[in-house]
Amino acid sequence: MKTIERTEIFNAMPEQVFKCIDDLGVSGMHMTKSSMMMMGSKLNLEYLTEKHAGPGTKYRWMGKMMGMPMDFTVEVTKWIAGKEKIWETIDNPKMIIYSWHQMHLITTPMYNNGTEAELSISYEKPKGFFYKILSFLFADWYCNWCLNRMLDDVKLTIELPVINNQLLTNKI
């Protein structure tokens, strides 16, 4: 198993940062849009549980990448509101560069009302020679891209309204 980690500082309270990262409409957007890292593909998201947050929440990602099917279910296995979340693939995931992955989020309050968010992806390599080569070439690169996109999208969501408000205030 290998783990890739990124830490980001936010000018917001831990509960706000956690809620934003927990919202797949924000932190999962990079997987639902066509991009170079997604090889021009995108995945569809389907919630499998009535609740969309908290322990036991399940959702399914499906689609194709490079013509190969991707279909995997994720379950939230640990959730401490505003502080910590762990979510991982379950059952029999069909992925290309991993056979299994787990994401871990920890938010820590800072002295200046800011928050440090530590986000990581742990993964296991897939079986099969072809998939092992793809994993060797792209898994770490994709992990870093994914972590950067998630945290950057959250930062924009949290801080852009503040910046826009400051711009409007200065114009008046």
Residue 91's pLDDT is: 93
- What is the per-residue pLDDT for 31? 63
Domain ranges in the chain are 2-171
pLDDT at residue 64 in the model: 84
Dump pLDDT digits (tens) for 27-70: 766 665 555 555 556 788 899 999 989 999 999 989 887 788 88
Q: How many whole angstroms separate alpha carbon 170 and alpha carbon 92?
A: 54
Is the domain covering 2-171 a CATH 3.90.1860.10 domain?
A: no
Distance from C-alpha of 54 to C-alpha of 12, rounded to nearest angstrom:
21
d(CA 110, CA 21): 18
Rounded to two decimals, the pTM is 0.84
